[in-house]
Chains A and B, each alone.
Chain A
Amino acid sequence: MTHLLAVSQYGASHAVTITLAMSALLFTIGLVGFLVRRNMILMFLCTEIMFQAAALAFIAFGRMRMDTGGQIFVIFILTIAAAEAALALGLVILLFRRKETLSSEAWSELHE
């Protein structure tokens, strides 16, 4: 594991590279999930996944710079994500009450 934690000659260790790759993977999973699913709760969960991918990237870059700024940012992100999750789920429930369905296709009034 030591080589994973060693600082590379480009200023980033292998551990950072792997973490960033994981972040990218998470983001892609979230994005694809958001694009292919029609269930609003699942779409919301996918956005949460993309959120965490961003948080993970913060951790990785914080590690690369060897300071705590990235980790502090993540604490804030988690807090806001929690608040926002409550709000978003509340919205989803309201939307469900209106049309008795969770499908996002029920909401297309902006279309002309």
Chain B
Amino acid sequence: MIPMLSITDTHADSPAHAVVTAIVNAIPSPELGWTGLILLFPAISVVLTGLCCALRVKSKLPGWITVLALAGSFALVLKLYFLRGDAGAPVVVHLWDWMNFSWGNQDKWHSLQADVSVYVDSLTLFWLLFVTGLGTLIAIYATEYMEADVGKGYARFFNGVSIFILAMCTLVMADNLILMYLGWEGVGLASYLLIGYYYKKPAAAAAGQKAFIVNRIGDLGLAVGIWLIWVNYGTIEFNTLFQVWNDADRGVGGFDKALIPYCLMLGAFGKSAQLPLYVWLPDAMEGPTPVSALIHAATMVTAGVYLIARTYPLFTLHPDALATVAWVGGLTAIFSATIGMAQYDFKRVFAYSTISQLGYMFMGLGVGTTFGAAYHTLTHAFFKALLFLTAGAIMHGFAGQLDLRKLSGLRKVPGFKIVSWTMLIGCLWLSAFPYSAGMLSKDVILVQALSGKDHGFVWLGWIGLITAAMTAYYAFRVWFRVCAGPVFYMPGEESHDDHDAHHDDHGAHADPTSTTSHEFHPHAPRWAMNGVLLIIMLGAFATGIPGYMEMRGESNWAQVMMAHSSAFAGSVQAHVTDAVNFGMNPHQLVEVFGTAASLGGIAIAMYFHLLQRKSADKLRAWLLAHNSIRWIPVAMENKWYVDEFYHACVRGPAWIAGHILHFTDKHVVDGLMVNGIGRIPAALGRLFQPLYNGVLQGYATTMAGGAALVVAWVVYRWLTSGVGA
């Protein structure tokens, strides 16, 4: 059993004001060696699904292998959670040696140790719980969703999912930065492989590359950050690092130390799709929808939040570091919300909403409530996974149709009832409907922001409230268009998929009078997809529990878990009742304006997209008709031309530089230098070539002439030297 630490437990009673200044030293716990199985199960699944790939297994076997492995990991995570509780001290479990270098003097700056060890504190557990839990559920969903690809890409898909869960668990369980970096790159690899799952489609291949390359920029920051941490602290193990940080001076000061948080946040912004590196995430929607739900909404993109929460103490090294995180998060939230409002592809709407919600999480980290950030991560993981999975069910059923103008009234279509109503729950949670989990977690962040006294955090709070209204609008724009209203649907372009083939038997082919196309039958989801949707919906309800407890001033497990991890050290929790705006304290402000924003956004969406659908087009036409404002809808629909801007400023110059270098290499290095030098002997040979005419007498003449010259020279020397005189 793990000993509970009594010093920190006292803080749990006053969650909003608790400040744990020291991070508890981790306990080496070899008896917890079985935690390694959390990593081993997905690793076995990687091997087995890889074998299924190689053997071209033509059944759903690889899917169920993955589900089983992930469920095993989830069960072990639960066991670990119940063993340790919310407030247990961190433990370190050494699994095996990996890197251990030392050179020169035997002090800490002359050694580098990175073992395959597990550092489990409540932050790790918090992430592990929803990563493995949602991973299992989404894998079950995918067994049905991907069934059209059985025998083709099915095993490859589940191989990618297994790699992802293995890497993600490594990322959150690593006890040192190098192992964490391995997991970090591993999730990037899995993301790349799964975005490019339909690799024959050029858009999917390009999207995979884009995600990988944009992430490289962030990963460079992370790598430099790890190096700077080692240079400054002589260790990359979290526990040792935190103990160094616990010392009185905390190493504050020095240019390169102040740079550490900025390097780390660059990595976090890349992985979590924040400004300016968010551009890869919308394109990542080219991957299969379960992947979008699992990797690009619920889990992988929160790795940046995890990274900052894990290294939170280091963010005090520069006074403006956390403020930068907060502002980047807040600006990303409102920026991507404006784009999300104007997209017609509802999977893209959800993608932009993911970026926007991640912005909230970073805002929470920056303004000082790691609890708010982690709690919003949890609620977002559930409701956004739910939204993506319902979007996937609709895509699956309507042959890839994603245009919200071409689908309507799905709640009345047979077989789509569960999808429609679970999507409603997801949309309510996303739009922070009063007393939904999404509202509770968002409010923690906004209250903290509005309590801020410096760095303009109050403005950030207002930005967050405005974004909340926009979020409510675009979430319900999708729902009212797709699920409500009169029944109407047009199938997408994948209507000749083989999973639709058996429906055709009683359609066009049986009917000789049919001329062009057959009647389209929606392909309703079956038990695996519906069941998973219902379970995740229940999970989305359950994520509200810590929020209710927080609201009633009780300590709750999410709060306690954050308070007993590295995510709490160094965070300055402001007294939320201090700041006053409009005669209200931040709690009342968020309650009033947050509710107004959510309900107002929903009401506007209801008017434009349910009651008076034509008025939306009229509004758009009216905006486009006026030259002074027509740029607003144009820019929003074109995603503010950010991709075009990057194309002109980064891709263009890189393309030109690439061609210049290619030309230099081909014509100067290869042409002039390598081949040019090679041509010199040939040219010399050609110069003397006429001497070799093949006539024997010619050679003899040359030889005789040469001999005569030698003799003449000898005689000349002999005569002039005076020997013969």
Residues of A within 8 A of B (CB): 31, 34-36, 38, 43, 104-105, 107-112
Contact = CB atoms under 8 A, between A and B. Distances in A.
26 contacts: A34-B697, A34-B700, A35-B697, A35-B700, A35-B701, A35-B704, A36-B697, A43-B696, A104-B695, A104-B696, A104-B697, A105-B695, A107-B694, A107-B696, A108-B693, A108-B694, A108-B695, A108-B696, A109-B694, A110-B692, A111-B692, A111-B693, A111-B694, A112-B689, A112-B692, A112-B694
B72 to A, nearest CB: 77
Interface centre among A31, A38, A107 (most CB of B within 10 A): A31
Contacts of B704: 31, 35
Interface centre among B694, B695, B696 (most CB of A within 10 A): B696
Nearest to B693: A111
Contacts of B695: 104-105, 108, 111
Interface of B: 689, 692-697, 700-701, 704
B74 to A, nearest CB: 79
Given A34-B697, A112-B692, 11 more contacts: A31-B704, A34-B700, A35-B697, A35-B700, A35-B701, A36-B697, A104-B696, A105-B695, A108-B693, A111-B693, A111-B695
Contacts of A107: 694, 696
Contacts of A38: 697
B712 to A, nearest CB: 14
Contacts of A36: 697
A51 to B, nearest CB: 15
Nearest to B697: A35
Contacts of A111: 692-695
Contacts of A110: 692, 694
A112 to B, nearest CB: 7
B114 to A, nearest CB: 66
Contacts of A109: 694
A42 to B, nearest CB: 12
Contacts of A105: 695-696
A38 B701 CA distance: 13
A105 B693 CA distance: 11
Nearest to B701: A35
A112 B688 CA distance: 12
A74 B456 CA distance: 114
Nearest to B695: A108
A110 B689 CA distance: 11
Contacts of A31: 704
Which 4 pairs between the two chains have the least Cβ-Cβ distance?
A: A111-B694, A108-B694, A104-B696, A110-B694
A26 to B, nearest CB: 15
A35 B700 CA distance: 7
Nearest to A40: B696
B399 to A, nearest CB: 71
A66 B701 CA distance: 36
A110 B698 CA distance: 12
A61 B697 CA distance: 31
A91 B432 CA distance: 106
Nearest to B707: A31
A85 B384 CA distance: 102
A38 to B, nearest CB: 8
A34 B701 CA distance: 9
Nearest to A37: B697
Contacts of B700: 34-35
B723 to A, nearest CB: 11
Nearest to B699: A110
Contacts of A104: 695-697
A104 B693 CA distance: 13
Contacts of B692: 110-112
Contacts of B693: 108, 111
A95 B30 CA distance: 91
Contacts of B696: 43, 104-105, 107-108
B482 to A, nearest CB: 80
A110 B700 CA distance: 14
A72 to B, nearest CB: 26
A109 B697 CA distance: 14
Contacts of A108: 693-696
A110 B692 CA distance: 8
A94 B402 CA distance: 88
A43 B696 CA distance: 10
Nearest to A104: B696
A108 B698 CA distance: 11
A81 B696 CA distance: 21
B186 to A, nearest CB: 62
Contacts of A112: 689, 692, 694
Nearest to B696: A104
A101 to B, nearest CB: 14
A111 B697 CA distance: 13
A31 B703 CA distance: 11
Nearest to A32: B704
A108 B692 CA distance: 10
Nearest to A108: B694
Contacts of B694: 107-112
Contacts of B701: 35
A36 B694 CA distance: 16
A43 to B, nearest CB: 8
Nearest to B708: A31
Contacts of A43: 696
A105 B695 CA distance: 6
B722 to A, nearest CB: 14
